[in-house]
Amino acid sequence: MDVKTRLPELAQARYGLELSQCSDSQLYHCLLQLTQELASARPAPSGDRKLYYFSAEFLIGKLLSNNLLALGIYDEVNAILTECGRALSAIEDVEPEPSLGNGGLGRLAACFLDSIAALGLNGDGVGLNYHYGLFEQKFQHNKQTERPNPWIEDESWLIPTGVEFEVPFGFGPVKAKLFDIAVPGAHTATAGRLHLFDVEAPAPAPQEGIDFNKSDLPARLTSFLYPDDSNEAGRLLRVYQQYFMVSAGAQLVLKELEERGCALNTLSDHVVIQINDTHPSMVIPELVRLLTGRGLSMDEAVEQVSKTCAYTNHTILAEALEKWPLSFIEKAAPQLTPILRELDRRAKAAHTDPKVAVIQGEEGKEIVHMAHLDIHYSRSVNGVAALHTEILKNSELKPFYDIYPAKFNNKTNGVTLRRWLEVCNPQLASLLDECVGRGWRRDPDQLNKLMEFAGDSAVLDRMLAIKAEKKRELADVFAREQGITLDPESVFDIQVKRLHEYKRQQMNALYVIHKYLEIKGGKTPQRPVTVLFGAKAAPAYVMAKHIIHLILCLRKLIESDPQARPWLHVAMVENYNVTWAERVIPACDISEQISLASKEASGTGNMKFMANGAVTLGTLDGANVEIAELVGPDNIYTFGAKSDEVIRMYAGEGEKKGADGRSYLPLDHYHRPAVERLVDFLVSPELLGVGDPAALATLWRDMKNKDWFMAMLDVEDYIAARDRAIADYGDRTAWAKKMLVNTAKSGYFSSDRTIAQYDRDIWQLK
């Protein structure tokens, strides 16, 4: 198909207009149709084995630019639009962003689909079609409020397939309808698919906020991602959602297996199911149920399923390791109970250690450990960064590692440089083309060749000029869309990620307080700094919401202070999402990756920032460790306690022990004068004057007395490291060199590399 003729043809056929007469919305819809035509004409990759990537989240972001790039028509379309005096970026503004994920885990799944397609691997995603996504965030009175994000329009990327399955819930059968999103592969002529299941009659958006009747089933099954699970009805709904996804998904797997003419007892020869965290874990008993129902013996079914499934762990946070009351599963899908009991019986017969049981607790109060189920009945268990996998093996999952050492492996995360460099930073991408040739687009390791330019002042100046341009672009959208003025001449110091206490946005806020107090005390900073945040808090996570409130109050206080305003700016992106990430990340000077060591499994934002020439300020946690190894100590700022020290403190090792079992005593840290001033500022008259006193006081008490993620432990070291980074920023040539090294070393963090490793070690698709 020739784009030059087809695009005007579509404009004529749809609207009776020339391209140049079309509105942005009309152009968007022409391009949507064109892209869909090209993508759906592509065949699936060949291969006898097929991967199904099961995930409750696929944070795919807007698709137009990415799909144009993958189809190889990005430049051509851009040229046609420029000829008509139009810009692709304006047209893409029309596209609604699907919010089918929380953060890293969902975005990783999206990067993986992109790389699976680009490598021409035979693999599809399986998930749910949430109509109102996660939620849309609004700030009101310096607090987060939530509302639905209805992203599905009459014309969208969703392709109805006509495929339907019946999911047998305890209350009766529900029809699951399959919609597909095509995933064209860059550098190939094939396309994969994202399979999203939906109910037949989805419920409309709630009238106000995101509250709704959790027992309105099946209509509410696909309303929201992770509905508020602070109460029992919400938690039960999640079990219903998960079973809906995996039962329909398992039926799809078996249908395609049969269509390929393969016998059920050869499932594991032809299929791999990657279980993305524990949310899809019920696929294990569901497949056993379906296979035994179709004639396999229990032994055969268990063997096939165990050889088909592989499990990825994304967290060591206890509260995120799913454990469901057996009674929930009994209610949602009673037919799974006998299978789960049998799987538990087999595990207990083989391994007497009660810590590795699938079902724990006394009768009537039994709990199913989803991760335990995954580990016993999968052929691979992987962590998502080197440090994380070591922690899984040596502490969190040690009893399992002792049983199954060969199952454990590491797959350090990666990100697709197509979205996170080529599309979001075309200026930097073309500088890279000039320096190292275009080969890095297929083989990201070639970015290493950029190291040869570390002493080339012309290249370093170009890096700085591009960064300055991206900062101006960001300031422009901020002004346009959020009515906030940013000073592009200031240092852009950025922390964007889910809001969670372990990620320690509150420690970043303590730094802001430190700077503010310094300025008020007459000490002028080295240069103006903009501290930019972007984060959504889970709707029921009270402390996370209080931290957002603190940040917004600090902004208000500082903006209205003429003494502080020239030097310090605090801003928070409203409704941070993939679209914002694509604007914010290329504009960053200092990338904040400050989680409490051992708690961030990997991080993937850190990789995107690095590729775009930001310098990391971080703890030795997750993939920061690997970033630090690659760039060397001159090109990263690390600080804070190491993961083994932190793990020992949680285990209560050391001289003193607190009531909560840790050998970290918050008050000891609080009473250091430099720390106490900062923490007490939360309840200072200045801040109480702009904020909600109850929220600020709750946060203050929590930080002072609990500080579960030890912000007060690292804060002084953090302040010192951050001030050092901001001082170093002044030597522009030295800083540009750091930027260059970061970009040059980022090829390792391409998800193409990660996926090639999954394929080599786990999937063996080719």
Q: Which residues are catalytically annotated?
A: 314, 497-498, 503, 604, 608
Q: Measured from the CB of residue 390, what is the shortest distance to ligand 26W in angstroms?
A: 15
Give whichever of 228 and 716 is closer to ligand 26W, judged by the CB atom.
228
Q: Measured from the CB of residue 604, what is the shortest distance to ligand 26W in angstroms?
A: 5
Question: Does 125 sit near ligand 26W (CB under 6 A)?
Answer: no
Question: Does 136 sit near ligand 26W (CB under 6 A)?
Answer: no
Question: Does 597 sit near ligand 26W (CB under 6 A)?
Answer: no
Q: Measured from the CB of residue 111, what is the shortest distance to ligand 26W in angstroms?
A: 9
**CB contact at 8 A, 375 and 383:** no
- The residues in 339-398 that bind ligand 26W, with binding defined as CB under 6 A, are 384
**CB contact at 8 A, 47 and 765:** yes
- Sign, CA dihedral 373-621-719-533, equals negative
Task: Select the span of 38-46, 88-96, 361-369, 595-603 touching ligand 26W (CB under 6 A).
Answer: 595-603
- Applying CB under 6 A, among 241, 315, 598, 754 the residue interacting with ligand 26W is 315
> Measured between alpha carbons, how far is 386 from 373 in angstroms, rounded to an integer?
23
Residue nearest to ligand 26W (CB): 104
Question: Does 504 sit near ligand 26W (CB under 6 A)?
Answer: no
- Applying CB under 6 A, among 45, 61, 103, 539 the residue interacting with ligand 26W is 103
> Measured between alpha carbons, how far is 423 from 380 in angstroms, rounded to an integer?
34
Cα dihedral value 457, 460, 461, 463, nearest 10: 160
Q: Measured from the CB of residue 236, what is the shortest distance to ligand 26W in angstroms?
A: 14
* Distinct helix (H) and strand (E) counts, the chain: 31, 20
> Which pair of tokens denotes residue 650?
């949680």
Q: Measured from the CB of residue 105, what is the shortest distance to ligand 26W in angstroms?
A: 3
Question: Does 184 sit near ligand 26W (CB under 6 A)?
Answer: no
Q: Are strands 323-325 and 568-573 parallel, antiparallel or unpaired?
A: unpaired
- Applying CB under 6 A, among 127, 133, 184, 603 the residue interacting with ligand 26W is 603
> Measured between alpha carbons, how far is 621 from 638 in angstroms, rounded to an integer?
10
Q: Measured from the CB of residue 242, what is the shortest distance to ligand 26W in angstroms?
A: 10
Give whichever of 337 and 602 is closer to ligand 26W, judged by the CB atom.
602
Q: Measured from the CB of residue 102, what is the shortest distance to ligand 26W in angstroms?
A: 4
The neighbour count for residue 495, using CB atoms within 10 Å, is 26
Please, which residues bridge with residue 169 across strands?
172
Question: Does 604 sit near ligand 26W (CB under 6 A)?
Answer: yes
Q: Measured from the CB of residue 379, what is the shortest distance to ligand 26W in angstroms?
A: 20
> Measured between alpha carbons, how far is 215 from 236 in angstroms, rounded to an integer?
9
Give whichever of 417 and 601 is closer to ligand 26W, judged by the CB atom.
601
Question: Does 242 sit near ligand 26W (CB under 6 A)?
Answer: no
Question: Does 110 sit near ligand 26W (CB under 6 A)?
Answer: no
Q: Measured from the CB of residue 388, what is the shortest distance to ligand 26W in angstroms?
A: 8
Give whichever of 7 and 332 is closer to ligand 26W, judged by the CB atom.
332
Q: Measured from the CB of residue 510, what is the shortest distance to ligand 26W in angstroms?
A: 22
Question: Does 602 sit near ligand 26W (CB under 6 A)?
Answer: yes
Residues 617-656, mask of contacts with ligand 26W (x by CB under 6 A): -----x----------------------------------
DSSP notation for 112-172: HHHHHHHTT--EEEEEE--SS-S-EEEEETTEEEEE------SSSS-EEEEEEEEEEETTE
Give whichever of 249 and 622 is closer to ligand 26W, judged by the CB atom.
622
Question: Does 539 sit near ligand 26W (CB under 6 A)?
Answer: no
Q: Is 200 helix (H, G, I), strand (E, B) or coil?
A: coil
Give whichever of 113 and 740 is closer to ligand 26W, judged by the CB atom.
113
- Applying CB under 6 A, among 81, 108, 429, 578 the residue interacting with ligand 26W is 108
Give whichever of 8 and 622 is closer to ligand 26W, judged by the CB atom.
622
Give buried/exposed letters for 364-400 (b at 16+ CB in 10 A, else e). eebbbbbbbbbbbbbbbbbbbbbbbbbbbbebbbeeb
> Measured between alpha carbons, how far is 620 from 618 in angstroms, rounded to an integer?
7
- Applying CB under 6 A, among 413, 575, 577, 593 the residue interacting with ligand 26W is 413
User: Count residues contacting ligand 26W (CB under 6 A)?
Assistant: 16
Q: Measured from the CB of residue 342, what is the shortest distance to ligand 26W in angstroms?
A: 26
Give whichever of 557 and 641 is closer to ligand 26W, judged by the CB atom.
641
Question: Does 314 sit near ligand 26W (CB under 6 A)?
Answer: yes
- Kindly report the three-state secondary structure assignment for every residue of 407-471: HEEECCCCECHHHHHHHCCHHHHHHHHHHHCHHHHCCHHHHHHHHHHCCCHHHHHHHHHHHHHHH
Question: Does 133 sit near ligand 26W (CB under 6 A)?
Answer: no
Q: CA angle, corner 313, sides to 310 and 316, nearest 5?
A: 155
> Measured between alpha carbons, how far is 213 from 480 in angstroms, rounded to an integer?
37
Peptide bond into 218 cis (omega under 30): yes
Question: Does 111 sit near ligand 26W (CB under 6 A)?
Answer: no
> Which pair of tokens denotes residue 274?
């990657």
- Applying CB under 6 A, among 254, 601, 620, 725 the residue interacting with ligand 26W is 601
> Measured between alpha carbons, how far is 38 from 49 in angstroms, rounded to an integer?
25
Give whichever of 226 and 639 is closer to ligand 26W, judged by the CB atom.
226
Please, which residues bridge with residue 534 across strands?
496, 573
Q: How far is CA 625 from CA 82, 315, 579, in A?
A: 43, 16, 28
DSSP notation for 597-653: TTS-S--SHHHHHHHTTPEEEE-S-TTHHHHHHHH-GGG-EE-S--HHHHHHHHTT-
Question: Does 496 sit near ligand 26W (CB under 6 A)?
Answer: no
**CB contact at 8 A, 50 and 256:** yes
Question: Does 100 sit near ligand 26W (CB under 6 A)?
Answer: no
Q: Measured from the CB of residue 580, what is the shortest distance to ligand 26W in angstroms?
A: 17
Q: Is 288 helix (H, G, I), strand (E, B) or coil?
A: helix
Question: Does 446 sit near ligand 26W (CB under 6 A)?
Answer: no
Question: Does 596 sit near ligand 26W (CB under 6 A)?
Answer: no
Give whichever of 108 and 246 is closer to ligand 26W, judged by the CB atom.
108
Give whichever of 380 and 413 is closer to ligand 26W, judged by the CB atom.
413
Give whichever of 298 and 367 is closer to ligand 26W, judged by the CB atom.
367
- Applying CB under 6 A, among 97, 136, 198, 600 the residue interacting with ligand 26W is 600
Q: Are strands 529-534 and 491-496 parallel, antiparallel or unpaired?
A: parallel
List of residues contacting ligand 26W (CB under 6 A): 102-105, 108, 314-315, 320, 384, 413, 600-604, 622
